[in-house]
Structure 1
Amino acid sequence: MKKALHFGAGNIGRGFIGLLLHQAGYEVVFADVVPTLVEQLLAEKAYRVITLDDDVQEERVTGVRACLLDSDACRQEVIDADVITTAVGLGNLGGVSAVIADGLRLRKEQKQEAPINILACENAIRATSQLKERVLARVDDSLREWIDTHVGFVDVAVDRIAPNREGYATQPLDCVVERFFEWDIEEPALKGTLDIPGATFVQDLNPFLERKLFMLNGAHATAAYAGFFKHYRTVLEAMQDAEIASLVADVQMEAAEGLKHRYPSLSLDMLRTYAQAVRARFLNPHIQDDVARVGRDPLRKLSADDRLVGPLRLALAAKVKTPALIRAIAFGFHYNNPSDEAASKIQAEIQQFGIENTVKRITGLSESSIVDAIAEQYHALLRASHSDATHGNEV
């Protein structure tokens, strides 16, 4: 049986990556830093995945093993693994890279000639490339040469929500996930072949990375900032508002036009279908996403290449009109949440330097007509927020 070593036995590790590897016929070995979690997996050798959609479904993952991440046993597991995956968070890849480097050294010493592929399934752009840099920084020239021949460092894009377990999970190892998932794998970097049903193998990952950032994360931020303006608590509540739902859909299609212009391989029909699936996820009644969490850190989310200004730039390059994106960005600058440090910094900067200068500095936009359009929308929101009927304001 093929073997997969997966770093990170949390809800996403077990309920997403581990589940798909199990379904693909791999023996799954989890490596984690939490001793009690490792002990539970060793004792049970199985766990349930509870999927939330219109109905609730369960699937049992069996035959699993586990080890502590920074252990000799974990390093030994690298020797005969066919694939290594991670879901530990970008900031924790340093510790993972040390174990992988040691394991690959043992693999070379034992003359293991079979190829191995490493996929960092993190919520970050090209996380595997970042992991590769960390691994290679720990090896000598001889091992580096062996790695170049035998190891595929394969960038991926992953997407699946693990909602709150409360009310669904009854056992400690139960995982709760949404129905939708996406695992895009950049095929040219593979050593040998990899067969994971449910995953999508692509020649160039960039279109899929930007599609997710602009049409999912951008839409999510739009719903959050507009929802906060209208005093909704969750994204679900915001998306049940017809005006906000319409704005989110328009933001997605403006982004889609820009993506199609930049990446001709992405058809508008494909992008439209993706957009509809994203909005359906936002309306999943089992997922209660707080608008303050989704909107957190607008300094980053309004920056030049991120989820709202990035698609605006693409759309402008494609000569597409962008009223929805401009409106969404204005909502972001109006996001006056005192509990959000970044939002408070933006409000202080607007007070000191004005909205136009603040927009230019944070977004990197310089075209006066676009900056003025954002400022105009911002002032309209400011006027509306001062009225007595804020909750009923139009979006």
Structure 2
Amino acid sequence: MKAVHFGAGNIGRGFIGKVLHDNGYEVTFADVNAEIIDALNRDHEYTVHISEEDGASYRIKGVDGIHTANDADQLAEAISEADLITTAVGVNILPIIARTLAPHLANRTTDRPLNIIACENAVLATDTLKAAILAEVDGASLSNIGFPNSAVDRIVPIQKNDNILDVKVEPFYEWVIESDSWVGEDKLDGVNYVENLMPYIERKLFTVNTGHAAIAYYGKTLGYTTVSEAMDDEKVVAYLRQVLGETTRYLTENYDFMEEQQKQYIEKIIARFRNPYLSDDLDRVGRGVLRKLSPNDRIIKPLVYLHENNMDHGALSKLVMFALQFDNSDDPEQVEMNGRIESAGTDGFLAEHSKLDSKLIEEIKSSI
């Protein structure tokens, strides 16, 4: 079996690529990073290191790479032979991937099953990719192609290794895939197939991602530069628990997660954040602040729900203020946000960008 994975970065190699390799796939990575593609085609293998005391190491063999901009014919052949296509490129890049995939999918000469999965840190990202592909194929039939959405979770910290291809990852990972949208009988081991994906997407988004944002934005106000430094401060841990206590109310009100079950999940997440072998830079964790303050993302969606239902949301209100005060001039979204606040004020920015009402905006402004 053959797989093409778009995105040869650390997530692609350390998480998705490893799972595919473990399932017996020949994995071809497609990327525009010439240095990584050249290394893949030179070595055809790399090592995934588990970041914990006495962590194991795994050799990922039989891989190669294609430069998506320079090797169009080779990429077309790989797509035509693929049994599975995955991405880990960032949701904003999916329309570009769609333009690459669409002509080859529309001209498939085989009816064998093909699944295409966007493994992105976004809600229903495969739907986004599918819509972009359909817009390109102009009504052509995409026979026996599945587009299952998925939820992925594995912390891969910023790192620099002696071998450019080697990757350090945390021990924990979770990959959940929509079962009803999968075509064919060959499912992946080490993956959880479910009928309803949304509870898993939002549990991860409003626990792992909201938690990471809380550490980054509050930790930075206290002068910390890394997750490890911040998590050594019990004030940060206490605030993190308050935030996740509020998102728990959202999750248990909207899905079938029991409160005790969610508390156990939170303890697992906090233990992951405390892992000293995974410490990441707070500027990197907090970047993309406009996305993080958008209406359906990790902070605003649970905050609005709790506000509208008269439930406690003080910690999430503070998190908005910490995000607004985040200082990372290397983040283009931070620079844009600062400009918009300077032009429209905090009220105008939160009303226009986060779609908040005036009452909640006043609560947020008076929260710290």
With the shorter chain as reference, the TM-score category is 0.7 to 0.9
Which whole-Å CA distance do the structure 1 matches of 2:40 and 2:159 have between them? Answer: 18
How far the C-alpha of 1:177 sits from its partner, in A, is 1.7
Which whole-Å CA distance do the structure 1 matches of 2:61 and 2:349 have between them? Answer: 54
- Alignment of 1:68 with 2:67, yes or no, is yes
CA contact 2:347–2:358 (8 Å) conserved in 1 = no
Match of 1:284 in 2: 275
CA contact 2:207–2:266 (8 Å) conserved in 1 = yes
Match of 1:273 in 2: 264
Match of 1:80 in 2: 81
SS at match of 1:29: strand
Which whole-Å CA distance do the structure 2 matches of 1:50 and 1:117 have between them? Answer: 28
* Identical-residue share of aligned pairs (%): 37
How many equivalent residue pairs? Answer: 363
Per-residue CA deviations over 1:206-252 (Å, capped at 9, x if unaligned) read 22222222222222222222212211122221221112101111211
Match of 2:236 in 1: 244
Match of 2:211 in 1: 219
How far the C-alpha of 1:26 sits from its partner, in A, is 1.6
Aligned AA (2:62): G
Give the one of 130, 144, 153 matched to 2:147.
153
Aligned AA (2:132): R
Which whole-Å CA distance do the structure 2 matches of 1:357 and 1:95 have between them? Answer: 33
Structure 1 residues 127 and 304, CA, compared in 2 at 3 Å: closer, same or farther? closer
SS at match of 2:189: coil
Which whole-Å CA distance do the structure 1 matches of 2:335 and 2:164 have between them? Answer: 35
Match of 2:296 in 1: 305
Any gaps of 5 or more consecutive residues in structure 1?
A: 379-395
Structure 1 residues 318 and 207, CA, compared in 2 at 3 Å: closer, same or farther? farther
Structure 1 residues 46 and 314, CA, compared in 2 at 3 Å: closer, same or farther? same
Per-residue CA deviations over 1:72-127 (Å, capped at 9, x if unaligned) read 2221222332111112333433443234223324433xxx1211100111223322
Structure 1 residues 15 and 312, CA, compared in 2 at 3 Å: closer, same or farther? same
- Alignment of 1:163 with 2:161, yes or no, is no
Structure 1 residues 222 and 236, CA, compared in 2 at 3 Å: closer, same or farther? same
How far the C-alpha of 1:151 sits from its partner, in A, is 0.4
CA contact 2:314–2:367 (8 Å) conserved in 1 = no
SS at match of 1:304: coil
Which whole-Å CA distance do the structure 1 matches of 2:253 and 2:64 have between them? Answer: 47
How far the C-alpha of 1:133 sits from its partner, in A, is 2.1
Equivalent residue runs for 1:1-395 within 5 Å = 2-69=1-68, 70-108=71-109, 112-141=110-139, 144-145=140-141, 147=142, 149-166=143-160, 169-263=161-255, 265-317=256-308, 319-335=310-326, 340-342=334-336, 344-345=338-339, 348=342, 360=351, 362-366=353-357, 368=359, 370-378=360-368
Structure 1 residues 115 and 233, CA, compared in 2 at 3 Å: closer, same or farther? same
Which whole-Å CA distance do the structure 2 matches of 1:239 and 1:125 have between them? Answer: 27
How far the C-alpha of 1:18 sits from its partner, in A, is 0.8
Which whole-Å CA distance do the structure 2 matches of 1:277 and 1:160 have between them? Answer: 13
Which whole-Å CA distance do the structure 2 matches of 1:165 and 1:293 have between them? Answer: 12
Aligned AA (2:144): H
Q: CA RMSD in A?
A: 2.7
Which whole-Å CA distance do the structure 2 matches of 1:337 and 1:164 have between them? Answer: 16
TM-score of the pair, normalised by structure 2: 0.87
How far the C-alpha of 1:59 sits from its partner, in A, is 0.2
How far the C-alpha of 1:16 sits from its partner, in A, is 0.9
Structure 1 residues 130 and 357, CA, compared in 2 at 3 Å: closer, same or farther? closer
How far the C-alpha of 1:152 sits from its partner, in A, is 0.5
SS at match of 2:277: coil
SS at match of 1:138: helix
Aligned AA (1:344): N
Which whole-Å CA distance do the structure 2 matches of 1:164 and 1:359 have between them? Answer: 31
Per-residue CA deviations over 1:257-308 (Å, capped at 9, x if unaligned) read 1111112x22323322322222222212123323233333544433433222
Any gaps of 5 or more consecutive residues in structure 2?
A: none
SS at match of 2:342: helix
TM-score of the pair, normalised by structure 1: 0.82
Aligned AA (2:239): L
Which whole-Å CA distance do the structure 1 matches of 2:15 and 2:198 have between them? Answer: 22
